[in-house]
Amino acid sequence: MESLDRRHVRAPRVTAAMVAARAGVSTATVSLVANGKTQGRVSDDNISRVRTAISELGYVVDSIGSSLARGVSSIVILVTPDVSNPFFANVIAGVRESLGAEYQLLLSVTDAGESPQASDVRKLLALRPAGLLVGAPSAGFLEDLSAAAPLVLLDAPGLESFAPSVNLDVAQGARELARHLASSGHTRAAYVDGITGTATFQLRREAFLEEAASLGLVVSQEHIIRTAIDVGAAAAAFAAAWPGWQREGVTAVVCGTDTHAYGMLQEARVEGVRIPEELAVAGFDDLPYSATSNPSLTSVHLPATPLGRKAGEQLRGLMEGRELSEPHVTLESSLVVRGSTVSS
C-alpha cells in the first residue's frame, strides 16, 4: 500500500535553471550543451561543468518546453487503420528500427478500419509532430496533412503526388497468383475482399481479376464478397457463401489478406470441405503463420518489416532536411505456393 501512495508524490522536476545554477552558467549555455550545439560557442571549461551538473542532477531536457520553443516535437505519428493485422506489428518494428531513439513513435489508430477524419487530423497536428507516417490513406485525408509536416506514405498506391511513399508491388504477386491458379486448371474463382476501400486492396483485387480474366479464369460479380479483416468474420462469410460457390462451380478462392484466408480454412474444415481438392485457397501478406496453417497457405509475400524500415528512413531524411534521392520506393511481392492450392 505504501508504495501505491508514492505515485501521488511527484519527484520535483530537474530544470535547466537548476543545472545552470549548479554549474554557474546561464540556462542558454545549459541548453547549448544539452543539445550538443557547443561547437565554437561554449568553452571547454563550461562544457565540462555543465556536463557534470547534468549527470549529478539527472537532468533531461523537457520535451514539452523544448517542443514549444522549437515549434516542433520529437514525436513521429504513425497513422494506420489496421492494427489488428499482424502484418502491422512487423511494420512497426521496421519503423522503430530506422527511426532510432531520437524520435518517439505515436500510434494513431482509427476505429475498426475506418479512414481517419479531418478532426482527427487536427488533433494529431496539435501535437506538433516531427513527422508523419501514414499507412493506406485516402486522398481526401492527405490534402490537409501534406502541408503540415514531413510526411511519408506507406502502401498508398496512386497517391504518389501527395508525398514521398513506400509502396508494395502487390499487382505483380496478384498476377502471379492468377497464373498459378489458371495453370492449375481452375476456371471459376471467388474473391474475398476487405471492407475498407483501401487502395492496396483494390489493387490486389483488380490486378488479380484482370490477369484471371485474360487467362479464362472467371470471377463473376456475385462471387466477390467482402468482410472485415478478422478470422471469425471471414469464417462466417465463407459459411454463408460456400453453398452458392459449390453449386456454381467455384473451385478456388483468393482472399485480400491471409487473415481472411485463415477464416476460410477454419470454416472449410468445420464443414468438411477438402482443401485444395474441392477448393483452393490463397491470400496476401504471407504472415508467419501461413507456413504452419492447415493446410499451409499459398500467399503473396509482402515485406512488412522492410516496408516500415524504408518508410522510417525516408521520413528521417525529410525531418533532417535532406533531399530524398529516391522519393518513391516500391518493394517487390512474390507468390509463395503452399498446400492450400496444390495437393501434396
Q: Which residues bind DNA (CB under 7 A)?
A: 13, 15-17, 24-32, 34-35, 37, 40-43, 45-46, 59, 61-62, 64-66, 68-71
- Count of CB atoms situated within 10 Å of the CB of 243: 10
Amino acid at 249: G
Q: Which does 11 bind (CB under 5 to 8 A by kind): DNA, its own copies, none?
A: its own copies
**Per-position b or e across 280-301, b if 16+ CB within 10 A of its CB:** bbbbbbbbeebeebebbbbbbb
Is residue 190 within 8 Å of residue 253, measured between CB atoms? yes
Is residue 257 within 8 Å of residue 282, measured between CB atoms? no
Q: Which does 89 bind (CB under 5 to 8 A by kind): its own copies, DNA, none?
A: its own copies
Q: Which does 24 bind (CB under 5 to 8 A by kind): DNA, its own copies, none?
A: DNA
| Closest-CA residue to 132 (of 338, 5, 318) | 318
Least distance in Å: CB of 26 to DNA? 3
- Sequence length of the chain is 344
Least distance in Å: CB of 102 to DNA? 12
Least distance in Å: CB of 144 to DNA? 17
Q: What is the DSSP letter of 222?
A: G
Please report which helix (H) or strand (E) contains residue 285, including its range: strand 280-285
Least distance in Å: CB of 169 to its own copies? 21
Least distance in Å: CB of 131 to DNA? 17
Q: How far is CA 256 from CA 98, 173, 191, 209, 221, in A?
A: 28, 12, 8, 12, 16
Q: Which does 269 bind (CB under 5 to 8 A by kind): DNA, its own copies, none?
A: its own copies
Q: Which residues bind its own copies (CB under 8 A)?
A: 3-4, 6-7, 9-11, 58, 60-65, 67-68, 73, 75, 83-86, 88-90, 92-93, 96, 101, 104-109, 122-128, 146-151, 161-164, 231, 259, 262, 265-266, 269, 287-289, 291-296, 318, 327
Q: Which does 9 bind (CB under 5 to 8 A by kind): DNA, its own copies, none?
A: its own copies
Q: Which does 293 bind (CB under 5 to 8 A by kind): DNA, its own copies, none?
A: its own copies
Contacts of 267 (CB under 8 A, 6+ apart): 234, 235, 236, 238, 239, 242
